[in-house]
Amino acid sequence: MLELRPNCECCNCELPPDSPLARICSFECTFCASCSEQVLGGLCPNCGGELLVRPRRPAGKLVNAPASTTRVYKPDGCRPAGRV
């Protein structure tokens, strides 16, 4: 089951479980649409995988399967995959 992480790893903006702006890779690294498109070029800076729209869990299912509250944030910002 997806963790549905609560924030963008790059800019730390909020990404609630129902956000259409959340993007994830296959490892569930989580970014906002703006960082994904404008900074990262659609590729995860951690694994190089493609960033896609994160599925939204129906609100009624969040009671028994809540979203994660663990924040992952890189205060130095993100760099596109392949750049140091």
User: Over the stretch 18-62, which tens digit does the pLDDT of each residue have?
Assistant: 999 999 999 999 999 999 999 999 999 999 999 999 999 999 999
pTM of this prediction?
A: 0.90
Helix, strand or coil for residue 37? helix
> Following DSSP, what letter does each residue of 39-66 receive, concatenated?
ISTTB-TTT-PBPEEPPPPPGGGTTTSP
CATH of 1-71, one of 3.30.40, 1.10.10, 2.30.29, 2.40.10: 3.30.40
Domain boundaries, the chain: 1-71
Contacts of 64 (CB under 8 A, 6+ apart): none
Q: Per-residue pLDDT averaged across 8-17, rounded?
A: 97
Contact predicate 77/10, CB 8 Å:
yes
